[in-house]
Amino acid sequence: MRASLTGRTGVAFKGDAKGIPDTALEPSHGASPGATPPTRNVVDPPTQVNDELVRKFVVDQQNHTMNSILIWGALALVIVALIGMLFGWLMAERALRPLARITETAQRVAGRSLHERIALDGPTDEIKELADTFDSMLERLDRAFDSQRMFVGNASHELRTPLAINRTLIEVALGRTDVPPEVRVLGDALLAVNGRQERLLDGLLTLAQSEQELTVWERVDLSEVAEHVLDQTPMNNLELHRQLRSAATLGDPVLLERIVQNLVQNAVAYNVMNGWVEVRTEYRPHGVDVTVSNTGPVVPPYDVPALFEPFRRLRDRVGSAKGTGLGLSIVYGIAKEAGGTVSFFTSMNEGTTFEVLLPLVTSR
């Protein structure tokens, strides 16, 4: 039976077809003996498992490919972004380099002199136009300050000469033996007025010079300057305390001496009977300073800013015929141009103290 079925259907069976009933191989009842029986499709179970493995492998390969694309795409994006940032930084640095040059020149000009120029080379664009405009502005400012310095020098000569002539004429007139007493009193008053005008003129010229660029930079020991000033200034029965230590700085020796002189004269003029004056010079971690203290009147805090303004005096100093109201203004102007600062302290027990802090020699 099996052999005849195999020959008719052309299907070969390997091994014994167990589990298949014999009735399934026999023709059905009512069929003709010569009719061909229907063909049955038999699916091998391992084939279905292989299909599932193939599908799973394909899905895994697709996922792996997508992950690789995402990872490498992100890495490429990061690399391109870094390259773009580096290229942009280089282009920006190249584009802003002229502006940095303009800024550096402006800072040097503001701190030292007006003689420097940018002199920017390159194509005629907006930045070069800005540099050329800045150079022309510096040129005009330089000419203006030169004219001011020339005016100060000429005014110093032209104004001092008449005052010196007036003083000489008055002194010669008072030197005669037949001068009446009332004329002598008048002459003494004219000499006092002429002397005050000379001090006022000298203060104005010094103030104008202190507000300009310093052209002389020499090594100056503040202790030697203070020693010289104290030897030349009368103390008017005041007790003097000196604590002078070596304190070297850079600046104009004449103007630095004027700082100490004005502070000492101010301490002597505005003091109390049987008071004291103390002068100190010393090194500090961030500079050198000269400090002048006295037993002067206490200054209210709201009047402190007025001390350093020209022709501004406190209420108890208005009647002074000797002062010009420019001493502390000159101190502030010279210290500022020398790169220093001026501080003021006052208290009921310690009196008043002025401190001028100047740069060290090694800081310039």
Confidence label for 10 from pLDDT (cuts 50, 70 and 90): very low
- pLDDT tens profile 201-212: 777 777 676 666
pLDDT of 348 above 60: yes
Segment 77-106 mean pLDDT: 86
- pLDDT tens profile 46-55: 676 777 888 8
Confidence label for 323 from pLDDT (cuts 50, 70 and 90): low
- Lay out the sheet containing 276-284: strands in order across: 239-244, 276-284, 287-294, 351-358, 341-347
pLDDT of 281 above 60: yes
Lowest average pLDDT, out of 9-23, 54-68, 286-300, goes to: 9-23
> Which pLDDT value is given to residue 12?
43
Extents of the domains making up the chain: 1-42, 126-210, 218-363
d(CA 87, CA 71): 24
Superfamily of domain covering 218-363: Histidine kinase-like ATPase, C-terminal domain (3.30.565.10)
Please say whether the beta carbons of 220 and 256 come within 8 A.
yes
314 CB contacts (<8 Å, ≥6 apart)? 299, 303, 306, 307
Q: Which long-range contacts (CB under 8 A, 24 or more apart) does 155-163 make?
A: 155/205, 156/201, 156/205, 159/201, 160/198, 160/201, 163/194, 163/197, 163/198, 163/201
Confidence label for 19 from pLDDT (cuts 50, 70 and 90): very low
DSSP for 222-264 reads HHHHHHHHHHHS--TT-EEEEEE---EEEE-HHHHHHHHHHHH
> Which pLDDT value is given to residue 282?
93
Segment 214-239 mean pLDDT: 88
